[in-house]
Amino acid sequence: MAAQKITYPVTAKVEQADDYFGTKISDPYRWLENDTSKNTEAWVKEQNLITGDYLSKIPFREKLKKRLTELWNYPKYGTPQKEGEWYTFYKNDGLQNQAVLYIQKGLNGTPEVFVDPNKLSTDGTIALQATSFSKKQQYFAYAVSASGSDWQEIYVMERSTKKLLDDKLDYIKFTGISWAGEDGFYYSRYDKPKDDKTKFSAKTEFQKVFYHKIGTAQSADKLIYEDKEHPLRYVGAGLTEDERFLVLSISEGTDGSEIKVKDLTDKNSNDFLTIVKGFTTNANVIDNVGEKILLQTNSQAPNYKLILLDPKNPDESNWKTIVAEQPQPLEGAGTGGGKIFASYLKDASTQVHQYSMDGKFEHNILLPGVGTATGFGSKKEDDFFFYSFTSFTYPATIFKYNIKTGKSELFKKSDVKFDPSAYETRQIFYPGKDGTKIPMFITHKKGLKKDGNNPTLLYAYGGFNINITPAFSVANMPFLEAGGIYCVANIRGGGEYGENWHKAGMLEKKQNVFDDFIAAAEWLIKEKYTNSQKLAIRGGSNGGLLVGACMTQRPELFKVALPQVGVLDMLRYHKFTVGWGWAVEYGSSDKKEDFDYLIKYSPLHHLKKGICYPATLITTADHDDRVVPAHSFKFAATLQEMQSCDNPALIRIDTKAGHGAGKPTSKAIEETADIWGFVFYNFGMTY
């Protein structure tokens, strides 16, 4: 197909340079950081017109959208959650913008709509977030977010009548809802933003914990915890199941934690006890066993372990190991029915072990195969629960697990119109630049010919201790149906092999992440899966940074690059919203030793004139207050200025959308059709 000729708008440049320890760095598109200015709004409109015009000329774009709509249109169920004699579950009929929360009495009761977020807006851009029942299910509290923003509001309804109370809580981000009996709940919030115009970009500081009593105004909420000395900390609060301990989880960013608890049965205790000092390890409270706390920790255990501690004597020398560190990383743990369920990762695939509460191994839970299983845990009195299993060619399926017998039975199968027998997934291990063995999942149609000419998409994340495990996605089906190969590389920076794997891809070692991704691409070409003219790379958020770094370091290796909501300016990311929380992962340009390695890979600062960069479709959204759109704006303007060949350098800026959470089905289908249309078109494919 002939390349489209694109005339990019000339983006105005300003005289702006910053001095980083004697090194002058120009930032001519700094004005694009002001996302609410009229100039920026005009720029966004102009860019969207150019991108929309380009995409509209792709002859099979509507066919792709139609096929995606067909694939998406099947009932999707969430795992049922038991609350007393009630069960709740999410269901999307197929093309509803948001999944609806249903409630029913007992397993054989008639499901009723409980909360339908589709009725909260006309365009499906309001999404449910945290939800929580009071102890006896008299009340139900839920948080909602609008247009994909991290900002939320909490509402309370009466379960029996489904009527909303007058209670409404504002200025909330990153919170749970933890009820104390029927009277009220604990939650986290910020102060009211000083200026609504900068609400989605200004730095958020001083998160606090409050207790809200039902029937009272938010202004009367009781302050439970604040830290006036440290504005850049997150703090969350939650009660243990028996409501004995109030637990505070505190962090200075995305790595490292401090845990404080208060024994609410001890009338002489007025303050919180620090049971894990911050912030050199990661820990979280799993449960309590009477007066003791069951804790997951990576202290002296990079793969994590479970220990029991006495809050009054929390020194590590007094810890009792319940489940020792294993060769595989402990991804998470839950309790229920008097048992412990520990989820491990074996080469990025879930394995679940059942233990007694004193740590005696009982058995493995038999799963359908290599994939991802979630949902292990329940209340103390329960004798069963539900969990979900998925893999690349295995749509999400719900199983009922009997705690006493250790048996699973199929509860609800997916009705997606997809034949898994026509496809296969295999896991290979390829060598990184330094010889490190790295796993990669490869999915494609059976009977694939390795002739070096297959369209291939390579995806990874590589950061923040986040694991990328097998999961089914209808969004990938048009590409697989058209003979494409979908690859997921489990590169360093994630937690697939524990904390050591994470640390090998953070701070001054971040280049390992990019090297691992580039090595995956080189291996796919060497093994004759594909070639550089049929290879696309994709990643979101930290994965957007990954794509940005690799397309600037090795532009000739990829035909298409898809950086989505990416962190692309490594010198200024920490100056917006909650970007400060990532400094523990990336480092900060405010420190010379960090600046010295950040400038070596910051994607924005490595775009150079005279280089042919891959066909690039940058995606972001106007309400992204996690990774502010300024990253993508400045990167797009610079790429358009520097691009030396006919490969397009486009940006797609969604409206009334954010970082990705809560995105309506209609917007997800539109965006997916545009992305695959762009990939197919630039590969010279039809659909």
Q: Provide the pLDDT for residue 626.
A: 77
Is residue 372 assigned to a domain?
no
Lookup result for tokens 């295999």: 426
Closest listed residue to residue 484, CA positions, set 264, 195, 321, 686: 686
Q: State yes or no: pLDDT of 624 exceeds 70.
A: no
Would you say the C-alpha torsion 239, 241, 245, 249 has a positive or negative sign?
negative
Is residue 447 assigned to a domain?
yes
Q: State yes or no: pLDDT of 395 exceeds 90.
A: yes
Q: Which of 212, 353, 623, 659 is catalytic?
A: 659
Query: What is the arithmetic mean of pLDDT over 472-488?
Result: 97
Provide the CB-side half-sphere exposure for 58 (13 A, CA).
25
Query: What is the arithmetic mean of pLDDT over 142-153?
Result: 90
Question: What are the structure tokens assigned to 629, written together?
Answer: 């759109």
Q: Provide the pLDDT for residue 648.
A: 98
CATH number of the structural domain spanning residue 648? 3.40.50.1820
Closest listed residue to residue 551, CA positions, set 499, 618, 501: 618
Q: Provide the pLDDT for residue 204.
A: 87
**Catalytic site includes residue 178:** no
Provide the CB-side half-sphere exposure for 669 (13 A, CA).
20
Could you give the angle at the alpha carbon of 53 between the alpha carbons of 51 and 56, nearest 5°?
105
Q: State yes or no: pLDDT of 337 exceeds 70.
A: yes
Q: State yes or no: pLDDT of 198 exceeds 80.
A: no
Is residue 576 assigned to a domain?
yes
Is residue 84 assigned to a domain?
no
Average pLDDT, the chain: 95
Query: What is the arithmetic mean of pLDDT over 593-604?
Result: 98
Query: What is the arithmetic mean of pLDDT over 645-656?
Result: 93
Quick: pLDDT tens for 11-64: 999 999 999 999 999 999 999 999 889 999 999 999 999 999 999 999 999 999
Provide the CB-side half-sphere exposure for 157 (13 A, CA).
13
- For the chain, the domain total comes to 1
Quick: pLDDT tens for 71-104: 999 999 999 999 999 999 999 999 999 999 999 9
CA distances to 31, 146, 674 from 41, rounded to whole Å, are 11, 20, 22
Is residue 488 assigned to a domain?
yes
Domain of 514 in residue numbering reads as: 38-70+418-683
User: Which of residues 147 and 76 earns the better pLDDT score?
Assistant: 76
Query: What is the arithmetic mean of pLDDT over 277-283?
Result: 94
Is residue 292 assigned to a domain?
no
Q: Provide the pLDDT for residue 1.
A: 58
Percentage of the chain with pLDDT > 90? 89
Q: Provide the pLDDT for residue 657.
A: 67
Closest listed residue to residue 124, CA positions, set 654, 665, 658: 665
Query: What is the arithmetic mean of pLDDT over 338-351?
Result: 98
Element (H, E) at 459: strand 456-459
Query: What is the arithmetic mean of pLDDT over 549-575?
Result: 97
Is residue 466 assigned to a domain?
yes
Q: Provide the pLDDT for residue 484.
A: 98
Q: Which of 188, 201, 541, 589 is catalytic?
A: 541
Is residue 500 assigned to a domain?
yes
Nearest-angstrom CA–CA distance, 305 and 331: 10
**Catalytic site includes residue 212:** no
Q: Please tell me the least confidently modeled range out of 66-75, 139-148, 491-500.
A: 139-148
Q: State yes or no: pLDDT of 625 exceeds 80.
A: no
